């Protein structure tokens, strides 16, 4: 005899609940300095980052900098990005050389030196945590809204907290920079 045959006729019918899909993950690239946000670049669904896409993002950054802070490009740009393949690709290096942008070395596997990782994304995750979004556009709108309302002191604090992190690494005599 099967288990189902042994159940009493008055047993409640098992209810199945419909699982609602939440918004998919969204990839965002953030560029900011001590004065505030410069560019928030969000990938469209199904798009991935490769060297060509990253160089297009750098083009958008370059135009945003020219529009928002025209004098900044005359004094040069120092960019800190981490070490994924698109950032190290030949095409990306050629782009950076063409526009004479300098790169701050970033130790491999070290989020301690990425201000976006240690200063921005934690508070953003806390803001988004527990919220349900109807679709990707609503999620992106919430992210843009959060970035647009960041306090100037919060932004400045994130940029300037990088220096003590580098100093601590140096003081510990670590080889902080990839050779």
Quick check: helix, strand or coil at residue 16? coil
The pair of three-digit structure tokens given for residue 156, joined into one six-digit string: 């400045």
Could you report the per-residue pLDDT of 106-138, keeping only the tens digit for each? 666 565 666 676 778 888 888 888 888 888 888
Does this model's pTM top 0.75? My answer is no
**Model confidence at 178, in pLDDT bands (50, 70, 90)?**
very low
Quick check: helix, strand or coil at residue 33? strand
Q: Quick one: which of 148, 149, 144, 143 has its CA closest to 127?
A: 143
Distance CA 150, CA 146 (A): 7
List all residues 6 or more positions away from 63 whose beta carbon is below 8 Å from its beta carbon: none
Domains by residue range for the chain, with CATH: 24-111+147-172 (3.30.420.10)
Burial-class residue 115 by CB neighbours within 10 Å (0-12, 13-18, 19+): buried
């Amino acid at each position: 005899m099967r288990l189902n045959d042994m159940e009493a006729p008055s047993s409640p019918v098992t209810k199945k609940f419909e699982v609602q899909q939440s918004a998919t993950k969204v990839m965002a690239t953030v560029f900011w300095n001590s004065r505030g946000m410069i560019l928030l670049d969000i990938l469209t669904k199904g798009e991935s980052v490769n060297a060509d896409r990253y160089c297009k993002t750098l083009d958008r950054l370059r135009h945003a900098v020219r529009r928002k802070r025209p004098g900044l490009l005359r004094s040069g740009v120092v960019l800190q990005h981490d070490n994924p393949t698109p950032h190290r690709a030949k095409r990306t290096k050629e782009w950076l050389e063409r526009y004479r942008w300098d790169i701050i070395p970033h130790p491999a596997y070290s989020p301690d030196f990425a201000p976006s990782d240690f200063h921005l994304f934690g508070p953003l995750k806390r803001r988004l945590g527990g919220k349900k979004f109807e679709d990707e556009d609503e999620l992106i709108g919430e992210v843009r809204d959060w970035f647009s309302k960041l306090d100037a002191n919060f932004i400045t604090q994130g940029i300037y907290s990088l220096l003590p992190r580098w100093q601590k690494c140096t003081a510990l005599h670590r080889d902080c920079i990839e050779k």
